[in-house]
Structures are given as C-alpha cells and as structure tokens.
Amino acid sequence: MLKLINFEIKKTFSGKISYIILILIAVLIGLYSLIFEKISYEKIYDYSVGLLAETKNAQNGIDLNSTSDTIEIQNLIDASVNKIAFCIENNIPVNSSNVWFFMEKINMLYLVIIIGVLLLLSRLYYIELRDETLTRLFFSKCGFLKILISKIIATFIISIGSVFFIYFCSFMLGLLRFGFNGNVLKTVVELNGQFEIVNIIRIIIYQILVILLQINLYASFFVLLITITKNDKFSLILIALWVFFNNSISLMLNNKCLEKLLPFKALSFGYKELLEKETSFMVVMLVFTIMFYILSIILNYCFGNKMEKYL
C-alpha cells in the first residue's frame, strides 16, 4: 500500500505542469503582497489615528437620503469606525504590517488556493485517463480497491502538502516584504456582534484547517465525478463552477432542512465560525467527504465486476 501511495504522489509531480501551478500560485501571492502598504512599527499608531479620521470623514459624507445600497455602505463604514476605535483604545495596530498580518490575509485568495490544489490533484487521474490505463490498473495484481484507496490517501497527502507549501510561500514572501516589524501577534475580530482580541497564529491555524476540509470535500466529489464520467476535464470544470458559485448557492438555500442535507452552507463557513466555537459545519464537511469517497469505491467495485465478466 505504501508503495502504491508513493507511486501516486510521484506521478502527480511527474510533469512540469504541477510545478508550474505551484510557481504561479507563489507568484500570485507575491503580487498580492503589493496591495498592502508597508508601515514601520513606530508609525503604526499614527497610521491608525489617521485612518480613523479618514473613515469618520467618509461616514459624515454619506447622503442622509439613503437608498438600500448606501445604507449598506454606511453600515460597513460604521463598523470600520468602531473597529478602528477599538484597536486604538486597546493599543492594537489596525494594520500590523508584518509577516503574520500578511499570512492572515492569504485567506482572501482561498479560491485560487482551492482551484490550484484541485488542478494538482487532477494529475492523479489525467495520465491514466489519457493513456486509458485506469481500467487495466483495477485488474492488476494489486487489486482495484487497494489502488483506489491509495489514490484517496495520496489525494489527502497532496492536499495537505500543497496547502502547507502555499502558506510557507506566504510566510517567506511576507517576511521579505514586511519582516516581523514589531512581531505583533494580536488582531481584532468581530465575533457574535462584539470585538475581541485574537492571536493571529490561532487564526492562521484555523484557516489552514478549514481550507484543508474544503479542499478534501471538493476533491472527494471530483473523484466521484471521475468515476462516473471518466472525463477529468469535464469533472474539473464542474468542480470549479461549484467552488466559484458555492456562496451564491448557499444564500439561495434558506430552507434549514436543505442546509443540513447539502454541503453548500458548511462550505461557506470559515475560521470565524471556529472562533465562535461553531464546529458542526466541520462535521458536515467530513461526512460528505467520506460519503463521496464511499460512493466512488462502490461505483468502481460495481464497474469492476461488470468489466470482469467481459475479460
């Protein structure tokens, strides 16, 4: 089994495309770092005070005869004013402008991270589907069940490795761009309608945990689609569409019963829910991941038995 898993991982990185995907993600993270202003630790407090004044000016400049859109903007600005004021009061930088602050913001690229890792995982099946060797592998001496399980374990290992590589790149690039800059490890997050001081490292760990669960859920469904369609490109397009439109679908599902029966709502949650001690969405993602993999095994087993009759 270990040899099979090792073979599957090596196969994923057998071509240049896998390394190109990882390099492109690293380049994108580098470009993303340029969005954030680099502020020296000594000037951070003054920056926070200036930002509060600017935000208050924007707050006062909103037309009182507000439409629904401007009311929403006003609410956002009001929340920003309150958050900045809370940060100043508790001597916490609004923008700590260091490597940890940047790593926390990497979560905004979660769509790129998920699609990039799924592209890598698709390499597990692309070569065999291209060379039409997948069916023959299932009837090799190793047995189809061992091969499928080795692919599932390899999927899990590659997803973990890829996410840690991406966060390692964000650490190195953030270190080069911002440095430790006072090494501030505290930030302010709104939880349950109140502002709370949270350790940034804790947020980063929660972000990694959530994104790993999300990737493995999407990956398990990708394996199921590959099993049904035998077409990696079509399956990848369907998964990409799900990733992009998941939050929109989640907002459309107002039925609580449907929210429990489908994974869309759970996939729309993130680290804030974990900080609020909400863990049920993680259980939902795990259940659906296991279910999709079990369905893949059952379908492959049924397909294998049918093919065996004709061989």
Q: How far apart are CA 155 and CA 37, in angstroms?
A: 37
Residue 82, C-beta contacts closer than 8 angstroms, at least 6 positions apart: 195
pTM assigned to the model:
0.85
DSSP state of 142: T
Lowest mean pLDDT among 150-164, 219-233, 296-310: 296-310
User: Is the C-alpha dihedral spanning 171, 176, 180, 181 positive or negative?
Assistant: negative
155 and 220 both lie in a single domain: yes
- Domain-terminating residue out of 94, 125, 140: 94
- What six digits make up the tokens of 120? 């890598």
The better pLDDT of the pair 24, 192 is held by 24
153 and 64 both lie in a single domain: no
**128 has pLDDT over 90:** no
225 and 81 both lie in a single domain: no
Three-state DSSP at 212 gives helix
**42 has pLDDT over 90:** no
172 and 232 both lie in a single domain: yes
241 and 291 both lie in a single domain: yes
- Tally: H helices and E strands in the chain: 14, 2
121 and 232 both lie in a single domain: yes
Domain count for the chain: 2
| Whole-number pLDDT of residue 310 | 40
- Domain-terminating residue out of 59, 74, 94: 94
Q: pLDDT digits over 135-194, tens only?
A: 555 555 556 667 777 878 888 899 899 999 999 999 999 999 999 888 888 889 988 888
207 and 65 both lie in a single domain: no
200 and 299 both lie in a single domain: yes
102 and 241 both lie in a single domain: yes
User: Which domain does 170 fall in, by range?
Assistant: 2-38+97-310
130 and 16 both lie in a single domain: yes
Q: How far apart are CA 249 and CA 202, in angstroms?
A: 29
247 and 157 both lie in a single domain: yes
48 CB-contact burial (10 Å; exposed 0-12 / middle 13-18 / buried 19+): buried
* In contact, 216 and 114? CB cutoff 8 Å: no
Lowest mean pLDDT among 59-63, 175-179, 194-198, 204-208: 59-63
* In contact, 121 and 89? CB cutoff 8 Å: no
